[in-house]
Structure 1
């Protein structure tokens, strides 16, 4: 799933390739992808892209006073094409979900692998009209996201820190992968409770959050859209690396599996050497 660093890199890439260009056509291909119908996507035809922004994991392409907002979800991606095929795309064939064509002949495709279709595209007069954007918490890379602001966010109800980091209404942009990486850097169990965090814990976790995301953004900066997935994977220290050696201590990275996802962690770095029970209501083994 693309998270804040990859979406930020896509924002940079699209900013370089779209701003100042005229949109010729927007072609929804998968019936599930377009979540709004008023205004229609034909309203973008003939408009010029003025900006590309990011809201959490949402891309925001501004043109003609409208905003094309894209959430790539778990299996979506963006593929740039210097020359879009002349033949119109065929609905129901392959992973193609939506195509945007510029008057110069270049453009991009939104694709989604698998049978579960969650990729979403909205066209709105204002980004806040999209419920997923309106509910977003603060951006963890914003200057205002300091240690005290972070402490205030965590000071609400009792919950596991892994879930808190992934809650988009609490903090925008962090998903399964980078929450694993942040907790590894902070040397915390994913199931540590927010109510048990000391002042020092909050400071360490805030620092780990900011540095992990900033480092990932810097690694992705300037990388072509087609190579961002590989760049993300290569930068991971524990996420997606179950069974491999922790790059910090050399212990074996372990995994906890759930019905539709999994997390990875280092027992030596994060849980005092104890493995986490691999069941849905996991807790530290006694």
Structure 2
């Protein structure tokens, strides 16, 4: 079993998002999106102002939204130097969440097994 990422490791990865524009947020895990409105497409074109990590949860704040990601026990953050919209490919496991930046980079949130526990909640700032 892979080692669980520490909050410091998670913080180092998600801090790279700050100042970048969001191209898209794909929530690919069934039942992972815990909010109905706004939808992930609302983040397209927004600048990521800041990130905050609290244990196994992290928050991404954009121009007008806050997105909370809960990695639960086994979720992992992976940086992508070249991120594309997810497409089904043989042998590769599907990420639970993919965030693609306008600069072509991004990150995946992954977890082992078929039961997806990573949770994503999107809120309008206010």
TM-score scaled to structure 1, two decimals?
A: 0.39
Shift of 1:32: 2.2
Q: Which residue of 2 aligns with 1:121?
A: 120
- Which structure carries more strand by proportion? 2
Structure 1 pair 66–100 and aligned structure 2 pair: CA distance change class (3 A): same
Matched, 1:13 2:13: yes
Superposed structure 1 runs of 4+ greater than 6 Å apart: none
- Structure 1 distance, partners of 2:120, 2:87, is 17
TM-score scaled to structure 2, two decimals?
A: 0.83
Shift of 1:76: 1.2
- Structure 1 distance, partners of 2:29, 2:13, is 24
Unaligned runs of 5+ in 2: none
Whichever of the two has the greater Rg, that structure is 1
Q: Which residue of 2 aligns with 1:29?
A: 28
CA deviations on 1:233-278 (whole Å, 9 max, x unpaired) are: xxxxxxxxxxxxxxxxxxxxxxxxxxxxxxxxxxxxxxxxxxxxxx
Query: Which has the bigger relative contact order, CA under 8 A and spacing at least 6?
Result: 2
Shift of 1:2: 4.3
Q: Which residue of 2 aligns with 1:40?
A: 39
Unaligned runs of 5+ in 1: 127-286
Q: What is the RMSD computed on CA atoms of the aligned residues?
A: 2.2
- Which structure carries more helix by proportion? 1
- Structure 2 distance, partners of 1:57, 1:76, is 8
Aligned length: 121
Name the SS for the 1:96 alignment partner: coil
